[in-house]
Structure 1
Amino acid sequence: MVKKTLLTFLYRIKVSFSKIKLKFGIKTGLVKSVIIVPYKGFGSREKIYLIGRVLKDRGIGLSEIGDSRWKNFTKMYKRFMSWEIPKVKVCATLGEDYWVTETDDEGYFEFFINPKQLIQHTSPWISLDLELIDHVLPNQGKVTASASIFIPTKEVEYGIISDIDDTIVPTGATRIWEMLKTTFLGNAHSRIPFEGVSAFYQALEKGADGKENNPMFYVSSSPWNLYDFLTEMMSVHHIPLGPLMLRDLGLSREQFISGSHFDHKLSQVEKIFELVPDIPFILIGDSGQHDPEIYLQVIKDYPGRVKMIYIRHVSEKRRQKVLDIKTEMKSLGVEILLIEDTIIAANHALKKGWIRAEDIQIIINYKNQDEINNS
């Protein structure tokens, strides 16, 4: 009871401070423009999920390979010291249909859309138009954005859900100082993926038919503040883009720190399973935190939906735990492969007929080149 009372009190202070800061910023001209930041959405022909945020435009822009550590730190500071725009209405339009929602105290908005008619599409990606209805600034003008939504086509073979930290890129997620240094002093160019990962993910996206229709989803405990950083990193290193499911960190109405790693990732993976029904998934993670435990729970909650699990081995002290989980997964009819090299996973996927034979040599070539570049 005391904890809940303290939490409520501190949260009210936080919200009040944010409101005062925003009013001050508008009055003094520190807030000159606002933007809608849509994160990639997803769903099916019957339902769509989209999350985004309304913020002060801080003009962060793209990074350059030669950017200094100070410049990288400055951009990261801007990402975390954001100016949220709370309690404003955002309109989403698709064809002749439209929906309206309101941002919360942190500037986030969510749409759970059920179109009146089934969505007709030939490409996996469709666009949703967004517009800020309320006026925040004097002489604001129109504030609009276009959101990309992934809707699987009939040609999908399977979906892929992957962790990011220590699965795609080595970050030292289990070593706090190493992770902070990597995050705040580096940029999209200096965050180097594990060797061969980009080519392997490209092969999975293409699948056995080579058509690049298989949806890629990324679930991480990283904060939403890093969304543009992570999408730029993926683009720079040719990792297939897809919806990223991140989280809000810090004080909330319910918790001092917004949710546990386990609860967040489990809820996001299961949200994907709910909104993208009828297709199996390959799940990819690492042994450093709790990906094997999370994926085990997914198998129990959604029997028959998990096709395969690849776990990058990054923690020797958790090896036995992962092996115990492997035994339990096997009893449930799902295979898990503990790997230290991307080629092992790629060869396994080829053997299963999930990727094309010609893509194996591409993955090997990428891995060899990555090793040369990283040496």
Structure 2
Amino acid sequence: MKRRPGIFAPSVGGIRRLALAWLLSLACALPAAAGADRVSVYPAYGDGVSLTIEGRVVESRDGPLAAADDGRLRNLWRNFRLWINDERKRVPVDLTVGESSMRTCTDDEGYFRLQTSQVLPAGWHEIAASSAKGVGRGRLLVVPQANRLGMISDLDDTILVSEVTSKPRLLANSFLKNSTQRQAVPGMAALYARTLAANPQPASAPLFYLSASPRQLFETIDEFLAGNGFPAGVLITKRVTDDASSDPLFDQFAYKTRQIEVILERLPWVRFVLVGDDGERDPEIYDWVRRRHPERVAEIWIRRVRGDGGAPLPPGQKALPAVLAGE
């Protein structure tokens, strides 16, 4: 007689739940590193007069850095730790940009946000941030007025192979691999560099990586971009909280169109190439942006991940193989 799953023969689903519970208990039990803080500063951008700086302060938990030979269990443990944060509520944060120093304070989720008017020369600038128990550094891009061509790029399945059309493979790529093991879409880093070289100052080109991933994954995405030779850009990730300040968790259309509208408003002299994939709603989102701001959209490039089963692209959008081939 075939045994039914029970106390002595747990189901596969039960085993998975027990394993996840064990991993979560390990992550939660990790002590703070001598009471230290981890101060994250998210990439910022401005027009040389006004800028917005955002970041987060949470409990610091030391652990081994990601390596190419890490196994799946180590990666799963590390990735789950990113979601478990003891946020530092209402703590002061000191910021330094250029010769200016400012102070702000974290909210109940550990996030901080500072808007300021400050004249800065064009190019990349370092941001230093410190709490009472930690320090962090970030980057700020002041876009030169002479740079008039920019790019706004999706991440998953546009430049990072995620396989969003298959939930099991998407979860395996997201949780069982680390940033050194994730696969970049071939040719994309070189394409971006080649496209932005049309600007007088390519190193300071307005390049935005617009990701639907939560900010807890910011560091791992940043490591992936740097490790695969993508040009320096501003990485935008979702603020996910349990209050009204949260970005939409599932409504990608609302999230991405709002972020793109902000970019267009802050950099009115720049025309953008929009790059995405047809795994979710990028063709629809970019078509909406083009109809609303036709003079601001230079090109729309879409990577087809659904194959022949995908819907036809809206008029004016190009499939990426043709772009990569120089057609």
TM-score normalised by L of structure 2: 0.82
Q: Does 1:338 align with 2:319?
A: yes
SS of the aligned residue for 2:222 comes to helix
Counterpart among 276, 299, 319 of residue 311 in structure 2: 319
Distance 1:304 1:210, change over 3 A: same
Percent of aligned positions that are identical:
26
Specify the alignment match of 1:290 in structure 2: 281
Distance 1:236 1:43, change over 3 A: same
Deviations 1:65-107 (A, max 9, x none): 1111122112101111122112222232334544333222221
Deviations 1:302-343 (A, max 9, x none): 3311111101111244323x3xx32xxxxxxxx32123x2xx
Q: How does 1:61-72 map to 2 (within 5 A)?
A: 62-72=65-75
SS of the aligned residue for 2:120 comes to coil
SS of the aligned residue for 2:223 comes to helix
The structure with the largest helix share of the pair is: 1
**2:127–2:137: 8 Å Cα contact kept in structure 1?**
yes
> Aligned-pair distance for 1:262?
1.2
Counterpart among 85, 101, 124 of residue 88 in structure 2: 85
Specify the alignment match of 2:130 in structure 1: 131
Specify the alignment match of 2:47 in structure 1: 44
Counterpart among 215, 236, 256 of residue 245 in structure 1: 236
Counterpart among 220, 226, 233 of residue 224 in structure 2: 233
SS of the aligned residue for 1:160 comes to strand
Q: Does 1:166 align with 2:157?
A: yes
Q: Output the amino acid matched with 2:311.
A: R
Deviations 1:167-225 (A, max 9, x none): 01221223222211111110112211112112112212323668434222111111111
Q: Output the amino acid matched with 2:124.
A: W
Q: Output the amino acid matched with 2:125.
A: I
Specify the alignment match of 1:358 in structure 2: none
For 2:99 and 2:196, locate their aligned partners in 1 and report how far apart those are by CA, in whole Å.
32
Q: Output the amino acid matched with 1:77.
A: F
Unmatched runs of 5 consecutive residues or more in structure 2: 1-27
Q: Output the amino acid matched with 1:309.
A: I
**1:155–1:213: 8 Å Cα contact kept in structure 2?**
no
**1:266–1:294: 8 Å Cα contact kept in structure 2?**
yes
Specify the alignment match of 2:4 in structure 1: none
Distance 1:211 1:256, change over 3 A: closer
Q: Does 1:74 align with 2:52?
A: no
Q: How does 1:1-375 map to 2 (within 5 A)?
A: 32-60=35-63, 62-115=65-118, 118-121=119-122, 124-132=123-131, 135=132, 140=133, 143-207=134-198, 211-249=202-240, 251-253=242-244, 258=249, 260-315=251-306, 316-320=308-312, 322=313, 325-326=314-315, 335-339=316-320, 341=321, 344-348=322-326
Unmatched runs of 5 consecutive residues or more in structure 1: 1-23, 327-334, 352-375
For 1:286 and 1:119, locate their aligned partners in 2 and report how far apart those are by CA, in whole Å.
35
Distance 1:40 1:93, change over 3 A: same
For 1:250 and 1:177, locate their aligned partners in 2 and report how far apart those are by CA, in whole Å.
26
SS of the aligned residue for 1:212 comes to helix
Distance 1:180 1:95, change over 3 A: same
Specify the alignment match of 2:6 in structure 1: none
